[in-house]
Structure 1
């Protein structure tokens, strides 16, 4: 009894003090009252007074009423508000029963009734779920899928259209549960002790002829037999370690087909390192971007460098840069090969230095490496190749993600980021303001701007446009239009006419919170799309925790931070950024089915915090080690601290679900269904496969069989979904985190294969590995 009394007292004091603090911040009074009740129960227990059970029964009923009032009949919010108190009632009941005190007769029925109400949401459809159906029938049989053989995968998004759609249909909702492991390969490239924190394996392989080509985090290119997964050759770019590099990753390589239009010749297997082979004249070429800012052309058959391209197969991308700090500029995404040029954009480290390399986009002759044009958002009018003694604009907005192209229109489409520093807007020129956080359409021939559509005005939140645009021809009330579909971090999905940039679904301007730091400003309004997964504004009631104690701490922090909804300006006080820097959508993008004119996406909801730190006298020697934590913003008056909004237990402060899958009819812009996605199996030491709706990073693919494949989540699974209703049909256990977009192809026997790279992600803590895993149907 004494132990139980002490336990009630300790919890009660914590709730009383914390609840008083919260109430002083204009928060809920509940925790203060609950703490007082537990303290009263503790004293009555010591006195063996039966009123302890009565007070506890009142506490249970009051907590249930308050919980339902805040969260309704939603399982996780209700369970964590009630769970601790229901558990604490058990020893109280047992003690009263053993001591034959009448109090248990009051407490037991109350406990039983409140417990039944608490678990009742498990039998209900979650309020966040949208149930519906997309048609399974094909509406456009002659849809443009890009110039790719049916069984191949020639670019990151399968083709330069970026659809992530395959015409293969052997695997269907009826037989996908018959998938089994076909082969598994390990590259040998793993995270090392000198690597930066965000060392990630995000690659999508290409399938050309009967070979797969995949790059690794340290910029190796591995060629595999597409039937067996047997290694054919490996090219190692010999990228040195660099602590100032923000990312260590490679999302893919790019491909130039043979000039005569034929298939690639058979791949040549060799055990010798391909980088040691003599350079050769190449017809077909692979292009590898590296983490030390090179572009390397490689022969797909042998792995040798292409002597015809640039300087013995290598192009130094630091040429004409205004600043050349080691590790500040590099490409993590495959370049765009279209219209006789290879177009390279790059990633510029966020928030490291006001004076950083340029975000210029450059087109080089695909055979020789000669610079054909350069488009720099700092000097957007002049695309003439830069002179040897000239430099590009300092720190201009960059395009770090994957681009798309429509060669019939002669346009390339680049998702644009922001100028560094992301949270400080006083360094930007009018031209940089215009092109930041947008999609820009550039002429493949000249690099001149055809149109631009901006998604955030005066971006102070690192809301870079993160995803490759998807191109399809869309049926609309005014007829068929060439459409571009691009998701954003802030949750909007923009559907534009890709020839003109005009919106197909309406774009409106909404009032935005005001009040930037001195010397900066915020835009009066911000755009939003008629198709959007933007979250509702957070409230104190949305704060969550595994117990009332950590939930209380999240509520206190919520009240202490600045938050006025989406686009709350960064501040010295600390501001909540929601959606957070992780984004509702990120580089994994969405997948579109151009035949059914449908979209599959993985919207996520995680809040971050952003705090501007005055630098006067501040020691920032430990900064500049990643996107999270304190970034120094050298040359600026403020550093910035960025981090997820987490409870003291390290779980998100806002209630789950945090991750969903969703299906959209692109002809109407209506969301047909939306379901929580993923389990916490690999987030806890107990391997509990509880479906909670978890975060993830990576992308989906759609097949003509009506099956979607995606890994991405923080549990180590590749999943298959029914495109029509979003139901999970199958999942395969991966040997490591699947933070990459899968692909599918036909092997030489005509069998449909599904391949997933599984190597984990350093920033989100998934299992690290070096795997390429392939599945096919049982015979």
Structure 2
């Protein structure tokens, strides 16, 4: 009976692999799966016929499959395992007495001998030996160390006390660097949780899918200030996490919102008001219904002298204003008594989106001081009554940086909706999309622009806050620099006075092949400092078994793919790096004293398939208008289906690693190390601790103590790393997804704390929550 059942199973495996393999060959792919299918089928037939040759054939097949796997991927365990796991397990089963003995023979003296096991046993031993060896190697690891020399008079941006955190990136320079060193690489392993606070603002059943908690707290004096996804502002005691006050903006719910999140509040000290007077210190709360509300930092009461009874209505001046299509998910930058704010629009909902205008308001009164509209860039004086900003101009949904001494604010810009369709864009849209612009803080006039994607068809907007740092040149002089991390994996290092490159970048040929109504730029820029991955090949397709790996190989050939910047297509294109980007809003962290950078490059391919308007199903039929599902693009000739490039099991089709931590010497522009980051603990039904290197979204911080802190990965951990080597030093399990950027400060007890918000991320599917957690040394 065992022989019969095994024969049937092997035959079914052979038919599946052979049939799928033939399909793959017809698409231009590898012939291995056809041959593997034949090997399984013939083995099944020989077993059914009780022939000992079945074991000989299977032994040859094991060695052939091993040689093929090593030829394709070398000694990479996470790629060898899926290629050989099923083959080895079946081989071991074939060696059992229930299979081997019936294949034997009786001698003349009546003694029964089972089939000779040694050829198959030896082949399996060799395969297992290779597998064991591959587990000891890591072909993806880059080891090295960052320099430890410290520059004199390093600038951190603004007059922020060492133990405080006044802006999203700590200062207006956005470095995410703390000059604290009480917690350091030698003692961070002793870090313990000391308090935990829950906001009560949890994900609701009727929330949109992309409800996320991404806030980085501010710390001023003895208080932490946070916001929540549903637009609450909360003040906590910095020492014990106890609530001081809370304010509910009553922003409500709207199914048309694409994002339900808040990345942070902004802080302002009014030097013209006596200390302790009402609203001398303010917190500004951006809401998900397009308001900016001024609150007294001391008690959470609305500062009624600001704007309209304490509230700025950001939809003012927009030609179109559909509710839920526009809001600020990120905190504005406050510099020189000005609030400078952009706004997020719903990607790919409609061509009649609100403007991407950048506006400066008086931080005391809320009066509009200037507006810079990328669709009308020369008119920066406050918009007169009756005039509207340019509809659907490139917007800034992320965080800006500012250099008050140079008098410039640095704004990362996105694209015009629809992101995947480039026809009909104006000259200004083509000029400013997917760029960083430097604007005069006082007038809003354009100082310079540097574009990182031409004629963007991939939603490769600049997602991250630019980091400002002064770099020492080889001749000993200092140049004020800007570090811009991008979705495509390039790190651009520019002179922030002029936008000129410090680390060179060049133009390289880019693929064509768009729909007839559109075109693609013949070249695209690439920086000499890049984390852009090599182009995908069929051998990079992955799966937990031969079957889903075969399905991914077939899908790879079914899609259009010519490398980075393959245009979206009616056939469906592979976009790699994908829409989440190699870097996203979490940006990178920079130590201004050592002039080094720490970041989390992530690699996850997406697909993008255009759909003619006539073929788009009725509204509500599975459309999400986000990074996954159908994006309707109302008013345009095409919608687009987007989503991660995954197997039938929902696992990424491209082989791991999908996420790293990395260190860069900014003075030389060289990558010092790159290590796999994160486990599949929360990606699989079983909590497996395998360190594969997983995707993530969020950001790191670095400290003078030589430690980087980062959660972000899709397993729910906060981790500490040695900044010099990138090696992990400590980790703590989080009660929910850690898709926020941590921060650090000292409290009234003179102890250094690290705080992490754990609330999950709707798009990446991590566990939702409402936690704010403080850690310190015992």
TM-score (norm 1): 0.96
User: Is 1:198 the counterpart of 2:210 in the alignment?
Assistant: yes
For structure 2, list consecutive stretches of 5 or more residues without a partner in the other structure: 103-112
CA contact (8 A) 1:467 1:486 kept: yes
User: Is 1:122 the counterpart of 2:135 in the alignment?
Assistant: yes
CA contact (8 A) 2:346 2:625 kept: no
User: Is 1:384 the counterpart of 2:396 in the alignment?
Assistant: no
Q: Are the structure 2 counterparts of residues 617 and 24 from structure 1 closer, same or farther at C-alpha, using a change threshold of 3 Å?
A: closer
CA contact (8 A) 2:574 2:605 kept: yes
- Structure 1 residue 530: Cα displacement: 1.1
* 1:526 matched residue in structure 2: 524
Aligned equivalents of 1:617, 1:458: Cα separation in 2: 26
- Structure 1 residue 75: Cα displacement: 1.1
Aligned equivalents of 1:444, 1:43: Cα separation in 2: 79
* 2:422 matched residue in structure 1: 425
- Structure 1 residue 666: Cα displacement: 0.5
* 1:613 matched residue in structure 2: 611
Aligned equivalents of 2:616, 2:344: Cα separation in 1: 28
* 2:106 matched residue in structure 1: none
CA contact (8 A) 1:196 1:625 kept: no
* 1:277 matched residue in structure 2: none
* 2:251 matched residue in structure 1: 239
**Which residue of 551, 564, 567 corresponds with 1:566?**
564
User: Is 1:665 the counterpart of 2:662 in the alignment?
Assistant: no
**Which residue of 498, 501, 504 corresponds with 1:500?**
498
The CA deviation string for residues 588-642 of structure 1, in whole angstroms up to 9 with x for no partner, is 0000000000000100111000000011153231224433110111011100110
* 2:234 matched residue in structure 1: 222
5 Å-filtered alignment, 1:638-677, equals 638-677=638-677
Q: Are the structure 2 counterparts of residues 121 and 141 from structure 1 closer, same or farther at C-alpha, using a change threshold of 3 Å?
A: farther
- Structure 1 residue 507: Cα displacement: 1.3
Aligned equivalents of 1:98, 1:480: Cα separation in 2: 79
- Structure 1 residue 686: Cα displacement: 1.1
CA contact (8 A) 1:493 1:531 kept: yes
* 2:171 matched residue in structure 1: 159
* 2:199 matched residue in structure 1: 187
SS of equivalent to 1:343: strand
5 Å-filtered alignment, 1:449-464, equals 449-464=446-461
- Structure 1 residue 79: Cα displacement: 1.1
CA contact (8 A) 2:215 2:226 kept: yes
* 1:270 matched residue in structure 2: none
* 2:766 matched residue in structure 1: 766
The CA deviation string for residues 372-402 of structure 1, in whole angstroms up to 9 with x for no partner, is 0000000011101111211110100000000
5 Å-filtered alignment, 1:351-500, equals 351-477=348-474, 479-500=477-498
Aligned equivalents of 2:154, 2:616: Cα separation in 1: 62
Aligned equivalents of 1:727, 1:161: Cα separation in 2: 27
Aligned equivalents of 1:186, 1:319: Cα separation in 2: 35
User: Is 1:104 the counterpart of 2:117 in the alignment?
Assistant: yes
Aligned equivalents of 2:229, 2:299: Cα separation in 1: 21
User: Is 1:81 the counterpart of 2:83 in the alignment?
Assistant: yes
5 Å-filtered alignment, 1:214-363, equals 214-259=226-271, 282-363=279-360
SS of equivalent to 2:117: helix
**Which residue of 39, 42, 59 corresponds with 1:40?**
42
CA contact (8 A) 1:136 1:706 kept: no
Aligned equivalents of 1:610, 1:685: Cα separation in 2: 29
Aligned equivalents of 1:727, 1:143: Cα separation in 2: 27
Aligned equivalents of 1:570, 1:24: Cα separation in 2: 24
For structure 1, list consecutive stretches of 5 or more residues without a partner in the other structure: 266-279
* 1:140 matched residue in structure 2: 152
Aligned equivalents of 2:61, 2:626: Cα separation in 1: 46
5 Å-filtered alignment, 1:691-770, equals 691-770=691-770
CA contact (8 A) 1:425 1:460 kept: yes
**Which residue of 166, 171, 190 corresponds with 2:183?**
171
CA contact (8 A) 2:270 2:364 kept: no
Larger deviation: 43-52 or 689-698? 43-52
Aligned equivalents of 2:593, 2:273: Cα separation in 1: 26
The CA deviation string for residues 319-357 of structure 1, in whole angstroms up to 9 with x for no partner, is 110110111100000011012210110001111101111
- Structure 1 residue 239: Cα displacement: 0.8
Aligned equivalents of 1:2, 1:119: Cα separation in 2: 33
Aligned equivalents of 1:427, 1:728: Cα separation in 2: 49
TM-score (norm 2): 0.97
Aligned equivalents of 2:273, 2:351: Cα separation in 1: 46
RMSD, aligned α-carbons: 1.2
SS of equivalent to 2:549: helix
Q: Are the structure 2 counterparts of residues 98 and 316 from structure 1 closer, same or farther at C-alpha, using a change threshold of 3 Å?
A: same
